[in-house]
């Protein structure tokens, strides 16, 4: 019997129209500055989002993962969030990546913990397949990030953010003032691509 491959999955909150448009605008600025469009946010793919949990999940368990999206995330929506600014970090590969910082408030932290537990219960201990564009090779550091998310990026290490693009950005690039508050009313189960993008939506809920 052939072993079912694991997909790199992300349980993610989707930004509403206003903040999502601002994220895409800054993403375009970063792509022009850096010449790197690996993280090019869009309206149908590479959606602006806040990751709640990531894990390698076998394809055979996609329905269970979608059920976790509805039962764990759906019952906590709408959820109030606040963008607190823009920061730039250096990845393991030495690349600069910028994003909106998101306030780690009690409701978001509680949802994160539930989402991590739900996805971890379905996870396989193996390198997952990323969703890459035509001709693009999977980034080994992103594969490792998803596989090790619970150990390296969850619970006490959780740092919620909205990835905007490759390159350096600052608060001055934003057309909104911080903190910028809004309600999230949608979430998705996504197949993760290079750069941590929500490259393909596998299931989505909206209220």
Q: What is the pLDDT of residues 168-194, one digit of tens each?
A: 999 999 999 999 999 999 999 999 999
Cβ-contact 6, 120 below 8 angstroms: no
Q: What is the CA radius of gyration of the chain?
A: 16
Task: Give residue 125's pLDDT.
Answer: 94
Q: Give the mean model confidence (pLDDT) for residues 40-54.
A: 95
* Count of beta carbons in the 10 Å neighbourhood of residue 27: 26
Structural domains for the chain: 19-206 (3.90.1140.10)
- Whether 132 has a pLDDT exceeding 50, the answer reads yes
Q: What percent of the chain has pLDDT over 90?
A: 90
pLDDT tens by residue, 137-162: 899 999 999 999 999 999 999 999 99
**pLDDT at position 4:** 66
Show the tokens assigned to 3: 């072993």
Name every residue whose Cβ is closer than 8 Å to that of residue 165 and which is 6 or more positions away in sequence.
Answer: 26, 27, 29, 30, 31, 34, 36, 39, 40, 41, 97, 98
pLDDT digits (tens, 9 = 90+) for 65-107: 999 999 999 999 999 999 999 999 998 778 899 999 999 999 9
CA gap 199, 45 in Å, rounded: 5
**H and E: helices and strands count for the chain:** 5, 8
CB 188 within 8 A of CB 69: yes
Residue 139 gets which letter from DSSP? -
CB 192 within 8 A of CB 198: yes
């Amino acid at each position: 019997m052939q072993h079912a491959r694991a997909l790199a999955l992300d349980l993610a909150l989707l930004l509403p129209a206003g903040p999502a448009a601002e994220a895409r605008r800054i993403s375009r600025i970063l792509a022009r500055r850096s010449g790197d469009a690996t993280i090019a946010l869009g309206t149908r793919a590479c959606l602006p989002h806040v990751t709640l949990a990531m894990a390698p999940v076998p394809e055979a368990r996609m329905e269970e993962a979608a059920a976790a999206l509805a039962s764990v995330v759906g019952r906590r929506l709408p959820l109030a969030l606040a963008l607190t600014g823009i920061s730039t970090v250096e990845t393991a590969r030495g690349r600069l990546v910028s994003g909106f910082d998101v306030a780690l408030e009690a409701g978001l932290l509680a949802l994160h913990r539930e989402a991590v537990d739900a996805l971890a219960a379905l996870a396989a201990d193996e390198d997952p397949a990323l969703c890459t564009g035509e001709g693009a090779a999977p980034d080994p550091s992103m594969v490792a990030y998803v596989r090790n998310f619970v150990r390296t990026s969850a619970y006490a290490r959780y740092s919620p953010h909205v990835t905007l693009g490759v390159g350096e950005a600052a608060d001055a690039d934003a057309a909104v003032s911080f903190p910028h508050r809004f309600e999230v009313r949608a979430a998705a189960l996504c197949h993760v691509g290079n750069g941590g993008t929500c490259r393909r939506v596998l299931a989505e809920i909206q209220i």
